[in-house]
Structure 1
Amino acid sequence: METTSIDQEINASEQIISPEALLTHWQGHRKLTRKVIEAFPEDKLFSYAVGGMRPFGEMLIEIMDMANDGMDGIVTGKWKAIHDLDHASGLSPVKTKDQALQLWDQVTEQINQAWPQISPQRFLQVEAAFGAYEGRIVDTIFYFIDNEIHHRAQSYVYLRTLGIEPPAFWDRY
């Protein structure tokens, strides 16, 4: 997949969404997902599942791996293979809600630190993220966001089946 000439002509002032607005949008979703983690019962985070889905704790590790290792790939251009993701972002295995929240905050900070290193032109470059998903960097970031939303929606089903009202889906601030 090659970048088209129209894509190459786009500069930061012509974008539909600025890099700063995209980061704010993503971080809004991350704030909401953090509220979901907080709402989840400690004893169910890594054990409760319905309908053949994974426990939410396992989904969280995937979200964090993609964000952590994905930002590293975006900044450096060097991507881990999908099967080599850190699984708990290179730290000791996450086994408790407090550990999940702590790691969530670390990955959030890592995103914030890496973001300014992404040039406006970089968002339009095409690469195979994790050696598997070819597309523009901006589309890869949208995939990270979409994947998080997808798994957060699954966690809403879990919370409701546990009799817990999940945070309002629009409350991203």
Structure 2
Amino acid sequence: MLSMTELLEILEGNRKLTIRTIEAFPEDELFTFTAVESMRPYSEMVQEVLGIETGYVRGIATSVWDWQPDQFDVQSKADLLAACHSVRNQTIELWEKITEERLALVESDPFFGPPTSHFSRLLYCLENEIHHRGQGFVYLRALGIEPPMFFER
């Protein structure tokens, strides 16, 4: 129902909103603020999002499955923004290798277990980003900062 181009545009629109969410954070709160003790700072959530995207897109495109949760050396807001752009550039480079037939393929998930389609993996990447960005919105509001407008991509 979606073309590969349309799917990439959806991923891109969401990443732009995630980047604007990162930009809204004060530098120190990006790396330290949590709403409750059991939650992580937004910077850690974003690094998870980037790691899963890297692992899944590379795996879907090349059948090389490698996810390293701590793969980014992020020490500042600028580093995190650079990582966002770098991961998305890698995704765009690999995108041409991903076919609709490849997306329909169902295989065991090398990271989380049960068999699923590669298309479902990409949807998981998108849902994970949206979920964590929602947490970032809550953090921003708790800090007295208006989050970016959701509809502006």
Q: Decide which moves more: 127-136 or 28-37.
A: 127-136
How many Å apart are 1:120 and its aligned residue?
1.5
Matches within 5 A, 1:85-100: 85-88=67-70, 90-91=71-72, 93-100=73-80
Counterpart position of 1:13: none
**Structure 1 residues without counterparts, runs of 5 or longer:** 1-15
Q: Distance in 1 between matches of 2:146 and 2:133?
A: 13
Matches within 5 A, 1:52-131: 52-80=38-66, 85-88=67-70, 90-91=71-72, 93-131=73-111
Q: Distance in 1 between matches of 2:107 and 2:44?
A: 27
Determine what percentage of the aligned residue pairs are the same residue: 38
Look up the SS of the partner of 2:47 in the other structure. helix
Counterpart position of 1:170: 151
How many Å apart are 1:134 and its aligned residue?
2.1
Compute the RMSD of aligned alpha carbons: 1.3
Look up the SS of the partner of 1:35 in the other structure. helix
Q: Distance in 1 between matches of 2:90 and 2:114?
A: 22
Cα distance, 1:35–1:127 mapped onto 2, change above 3 Å: same
**Structure 2 residues without counterparts, runs of 5 or longer:** none
Look up the SS of the partner of 1:45 in the other structure. helix
Q: Distance in 1 between matches of 2:90 and 2:43?
A: 20
Please say if 1:154 is aligned against 2:135. yes
How many positions carry a matched residue from both structures? 151
2:6 aligned residue (11, 21, 37): 21
How many Å apart are 1:50 and its aligned residue?
1.0
Counterpart position of 1:7: none
> Which AA in structure 2 matches 1:170?
F
Q: Distance in 1 between matches of 2:140 and 2:49?
A: 18
Does the CA contact (< 8 Å) of 1:79 and 1:129 recur in 2? no
**1:33-62 per-position Cα deviation (integer Å, ceiling 9, x unaligned):** 000011111011111001332110110110
> Which AA in structure 2 matches 1:130?
P
Larger Rg: 1
Cα distance, 1:95–1:87 mapped onto 2, change above 3 Å: farther
Q: Distance in 2 between matches of 1:64 and 1:148?
A: 9
**1:133-173 per-position Cα deviation (integer Å, ceiling 9, x unaligned):** 4211111100000000000000000000001000011111x
Q: TM (normalized to structure 1)?
A: 0.83
How many Å apart are 1:102 and its aligned residue?
0.6
Does the CA contact (< 8 Å) of 1:126 and 1:134 recur in 2? yes
